[in-house]
Structure 1
Amino acid sequence: MSSFSPLHHRGGEVVRNYLIKSVLQIIPVLLLISLIVFILVRVTGDPVALMLPETASDEDRMVLTRALGLDQPIYVQYIKFMGDLLQGDFGTSYRYNLPALPIILERLPASFELAIASMIIATLISVPLGILSAVKRNSYLDIFITGASALGKAIPHFWLGIMLILLFAVRMKIAPVSGRGTFEHLILPALTLGVGIAAETTRLIRSSMLDILGQDYIRTARSKGLIETLVVCKHAFRNSLIPVVTIMALQSSALIGGALISETIFAWPGMGLLIVQAVNGRDMAIVQASIFVVAFIVILGNLIADILYRLLDPRIKYK
């Protein structure tokens, strides 16, 4: 027991130091993002002109300019901008006349609901197809699955969404076109978002399975007389999931990009639809808050993927 404790303590300390180091590396990334957002807000238009009606007088413009601190030197504006960010203040939405961050956080549950549903659909499609494609390598089934995966990856989200609406909502009338509230509302947008992820994940599972099936321990298991189903499901598939799980955790950026399209097509009241509306309406408070929230989600997804990879594969060392 005494010989184990120091090693256990040392291992926990290494993991803790790695996590601290990873979190600290996020800080310069967020600082860079803050600088980019600050510049974008200034070059995309005059905030005062966006906030005031066209009939506003020059005096009104001057008063609002001073109130927003836009008459200060640029470095002073950036310092104030950073101070507001640290307090979670991204400004007030021109459209809603409310603080931007709470509006976005209110939309996040709908986006997470769509993301989780699409990942479930992608998993249900990709796992059996990826295994079949690897086990039946170079067969007609493998060629069909590989071709379908390439097609699914190439199909634009907006085209797939429109086709699903025409088929299931207009022609068959078995799913609603837009909105949120019931399980049926979730099917089409989740399917639109999940197909592209399923196509990519199927390819990854096939590649990983083929690599594992060529390993010595798989040949040993077969030589012992184990049935092929047991060899594939118990030994090969479990080990092939190591890179697949981490890749799926890295899909946060793809999910966000797809959500912008899916939520817009199906009027799904999530963050993606909010971002599109804010960009079209030049609601810069919502836009800049959205950029930070999206960046945080992507960074968090990358960190989780890195941690999962190291947990699933003990050969990877923490540094």
Structure 2
Amino acid sequence: MKFLLKNIFRIIPVLFIITVIVFVLVRVTGDPVSLMLPETATDEEQEQLRESLGLNEPLYKQYLIYLGDLIKGDFGDSFRYNQPAFDIVMERLPASFSLAFASMIVATLISIPLGILSAIKRNSILDLLITSASVLGKAMPSFWLGIMLILLLAVHLNLFPVSGTGSTKHLVLPAITLGTGIAAEMTRLIRSSMLEILSQDYIRTARSKGLFEVIVINKHAFRNALIPVVTIMALQTATLIGGTLITETVFSWPGMGQLLVQAVDLRDMAVVQAATFVIAILVIASNLLADLTYRYLDPRIKYE
């Protein structure tokens, strides 16, 4: 509980720094008024809009107003959608969550058995094949894999929809596309972590006691090998929620990544600030969850 409370208090300055960085970067990209008004707008009309948005104030006053609204949960209204920016972000969040969750399931189902097999059969042909496949999976561009999956499984075999949302079938192809790259990275990490654990003295002791190899691997080795894997999973989950633009574009998936890039392109400041803030909260929460998971996996880890 002390660890949890300490980290919750640490979140406040982190979020403050994030708000400063995002606020400054959004303002230096250009004047959003030029996008919100037609080219025929007069200077007077531009000035009136700038005044209504508070953009004629000094930067520090704009930031104080923004911070005050942020504390109240008000990120402003999107000029493109003409509705509160936070509501728009929260509408896209379930789609991103479902895609990230499905991708992590795919990655876990692929990487855990392959990583363990590769470590157990070290320097064998099977190990070479798994290692080569993981390198290929990591190097393979996600947009190319997505297009190939669409051509094979959606167009030729007609097993899944080409794009869009609405059912579980729509989720399969983008989840495989994203999960493959993550699985490649996790497989190599599990292999190296398992090799290190299998060389430990307590593993040799467990084997000398006559325990079945399955028990030695699953109960004694794999649990301790999971600690670095949990870190990768936490970081990848946060990345999946906020930065899967290419896959979302290929499959027309209405997630956070696509929303954020469109908002940046249009200088929709309210949406950019709201989306970045939500993604920052998710990254911090996933890291905190990973730290708590360490303690469960290895009770010897102490937080002092």
Q: What TM-score, normalized to structure 2?
A: 0.94
Tell me how far 1:273 sits from its aligned partner.
Answer: 2.2
Equivalent residues of 1:267, 1:273 under 8 A apart: no
Equivalent residues of 1:246, 1:308 under 8 A apart: no
Task: Map 1:141-152 to 2 at 5 A.
Answer: 141-152=126-137
Letter of the 1:301 partner, please give it: S
Q: Which of 80, 102, 108 is the matching residue for 1:123? A: 108
Q: CA RMSD in A?
A: 1.7
Tell me how far 1:180 sits from its aligned partner.
Answer: 0.7
Show CA shifts across 1:10-63 (max 9, x none).
Answer: xxxxxx222222122222221121111111221112122222222222222222
CA distance in 1, matches of 2:33, 2:218: 62
Letter of the 1:152 partner, please give it: G
Tell me how far 1:257 sits from its aligned partner.
Answer: 5.7
Letter of the 1:190 partner, please give it: A
Tell me how far 1:102 sits from its aligned partner.
Answer: 0.5
How many residues are treated as equivalent by the alignment?
304
Identity %: 68
Show CA shifts across 1:167-214 (max 9, x none).
Answer: 212222221111111111111000011011111111121112111211
CA distance in 2, matches of 1:229, 1:258: 38
Task: Map 1:20-169 to 2 at 5 A.
Answer: 20-169=5-154
Q: Which of 199, 207, 211 is the matching residue for 2:196? A: 211
Higher mean alpha-carbon deviation, 117-126 vs 295-304, is at 295-304
Show the counterpart of 2:257. Answer: 272
Letter of the 1:287 partner, please give it: V
Instruction: Give the SS at the match of 1:53.
Output: coil
Tell me how far 1:98 sits from its aligned partner.
Answer: 0.5
CA distance in 2, matches of 1:53, 1:285: 20
Q: Which of 290, 297, 300 is the matching residue for 1:312? A: 297
Show the counterpart of 1:254. Answer: 239
Show the counterpart of 2:160. Answer: 175
Higher mean alpha-carbon deviation, 271-280 vs 161-170, is at 271-280
Instruction: Give the SS at the match of 1:59.
Output: helix
* Higher RCO structure (Cα 8 Å, ≥6 apart): 2
- The 3 A distance-change label for structure 1 pair 102 and 53 is same
CA distance in 2, matches of 1:94, 1:285: 8
Tell me how far 1:258 sits from its aligned partner.
Answer: 5.1
Higher mean alpha-carbon deviation, 50-59 vs 195-204, is at 50-59
Show the counterpart of 1:224. Answer: 209
Unpaired runs of 5+ residues, structure 2, are none
Equivalent residues of 2:154, 2:162 under 8 A apart: yes
CA distance in 1, matches of 2:93, 2:139: 28
Show CA shifts across 1:123-175 (max 9, x none).
Answer: 11011101100100000100111111111112222222122112212222221
Tell me how far 1:259 sits from its aligned partner.
Answer: 2.0
CA distance in 1, matches of 2:243, 2:40: 40
